Structure 1
Amino acid sequence: MADINENGNNYGLRDEIKAYWSARAATFDLSPGHEIFSEDEREAWHELVLKHLGDGAGRSALDLASGTGVVSHLLDDLGYRVTGLDWAEPMLERAKAKVGQRQRSISFRLGDAENTMENDNAYDVIVNRHLVWTLVDPKAAFAEWMRVLKPGGRLLIIDGDFVNVGLAEKLLKGLADRLQKIGLLKPDPLHAPKELMAAHNSIVSRVYFSDGARAEAVAAMLRETGFERIIVDTDLRTIHRTQAKHWNVLKGLARGIQHRYAICAEKPA
């Protein structure tokens, strides 16, 4: 998946993905669903982590594609020793700034979620949010995560199908757009600059899950990789309700009916 650009350099899909998220860093924390804007939402995320991974109690956690560190801070709240890994330097700069502002002990490093360069059997848990749908080679990534986990360690994936939009969601979003244009609904918080949408759409069309990262497909691939005790959790309603308070009512309803999920899987002991 590499092309020769006009300068004669090898520039592939993974480079495009890295460039896209680097550009997104400036506005990433402005969007509900990325940063956390209320204690109610923070508590809802804590409940999800505790449900599947338990209390940290000093255990080691690797937050893959950690971005500006939102999930890393949730894990730190719960007593995990957290390392965040991201390959977009602008994201890491913001994550490190938050650590200083909040006086946390999270370690953030530059690294590739599909080839972490971490030691074998290094972490008790691995967590990622909204990463799997962007993977170029998820089979290889899952094998890499298996390698890095300790025996009996757990993986928690939080993701969704952001490609297939159902009729109800289309109607809600279309109505929201019309009402915003005539001033009857407040504008949505900034999600992504419009100038990046063409790059986003091009990337989505070429990743492995270009047809949408459905939970059952991700779970099946994890099973093929050797993970055990796989649990698919689609009950994220509490999180969605807390996020919806920061969208207009129609956008909040649309978000609540999207195919979003958490998958917990365990490395054999």
Structure 2
Amino acid sequence: MTKPDQIKNRYNRVARCYDWMESPMETAKFSKWRRELTRQVTGNTLEVGIGTGKNIPYYPEEVKLTAIDFSKNMLKRAKLKYQDDPRKISFIEMDAQDMIFEDNTFDTVVTSCVFCSVPDPVKGLQEIRRVLKPGGQLLMLEHVRSKQKFLGRLMDWFNFVPLNIWGANINRQTIDNLKKAGFTKMEVNNLWRDIVKLIKVRNIK
């Protein structure tokens, strides 16, 4: 397993050019998917892995938003872009695997392309389950390892490339990790092939 500080350092390193690197995907599909993701958000909301703040423009105005990221440079860019946002977003540098929030704090937790890079994804998801209220919702826009035999193997073979450049794994099995973390009720919709998924989880405690 890659050490957390290694992943953090890689995101700190690419923060300056991250938006530029991701712009083709944002233009093609992801901005549409982010609208769909955030459309379902309600109440006191936590976004885990805010990055440079790509989801923020799409949140409903009435949402109370807390945004965390373990990369100080990514978080800095999000704060600079949205420091005057009327929603008064709370930006906090924090590791998803070790959150300071009390149990049962949030109505909604949001992640997008985050659980490809959390060093211990099951631990991170267990933390989300802990801070999410009973009956609360976890909304995820994530890419995962394909179940197609050849494509899945291809993703395994080439995983070292994005992992070593900016810290993301392209072969995470996030649905299985959700189950390992204790989540039992989920709705999964494929957005692109069987790789990019919109996942809605209800926290049954």
Q: TM-score, normalised by structure 2?
A: 0.79
Contact 1:55 1:79 in 2 (8 A): no
Amino acid at match of 1:29: D
Contact 1:72 1:82 in 2 (8 A): no
Aligned residue number for residue 35 of structure 2: 46
Per-residue CA shift, 1:212-253, capped at 9, x if unaligned? 124xxx22332233223211111x3xxxxxxxxxxxxxxxxx
Aligned residue number for residue 131 of structure 1: 114
Structure with the greater alpha carbon radius of gyration: 1
Q: Distance in 1 between matches of 2:62 and 2:4?
A: 33
Per-residue CA shift, 1:140-162, capped at 9, x if unaligned? 11111110001111111211137
Amino acid at match of 2:76: E
For 1:212, which of 163, 171, 178 is the aligned residue?
Answer: 171
Q: Distance in 1 between matches of 2:33 and 2:141?
A: 14
- Equivalent pairs counted in the alignment come to 196
How far the C-alpha of 1:37 sits from its partner, in A, is 5.5
Amino acid at match of 1:146: R
Contact 1:219 1:230 in 2 (8 A): no
Q: Select the structure that is richer in strand.
A: 2
Q: Distance in 2 between matches of 1:55 and 1:145?
A: 15
Q: Select the structure that is richer in helix.
A: 1
Where does 1:84-233 land on structure 2 (aligned, <5 Å)? Answer: 84-100=67-83, 102-161=85-144, 166=151, 199-200=164-165, 203=167, 212-214=171-173, 218-233=174-189
How far the C-alpha of 1:44 sits from its partner, in A, is 4.9
For 1:20, which of 10, 20, 23 is the aligned residue?
Answer: 10
How far the C-alpha of 1:73 sits from its partner, in A, is 3.4
How far the C-alpha of 1:198 sits from its partner, in A, is 7.9
Where does 1:245-260 land on structure 2 (aligned, <5 Å)? Answer: 257=193, 259-260=195-196
Partner SS for 1:21: helix
Aligned residue number for residue 176 of structure 1: none
Partner SS for 1:109: strand
**Which consecutive residues of structure 2, in runs of 5 or more, have no partner in the other structure?**
156-160
Change (3 A) 1:55 1:93: closer
Amino acid at match of 2:35: H
Amino acid at match of 2:58: L
For 1:261, which of 194, 197, 203 is the aligned residue?
Answer: 197
**Which consecutive residues of structure 1, in runs of 5 or more, have no partner in the other structure?**
2-11, 171-195, 205-209, 237-255
Q: Distance in 1 between matches of 2:30 and 2:6?
A: 32
Contact 2:48 2:109 in 1 (8 A): yes
* Overall identity of the aligned pairs, in %: 24
Contact 2:132 2:203 in 1 (8 A): yes
Q: TM-score, normalised by structure 1?
A: 0.62
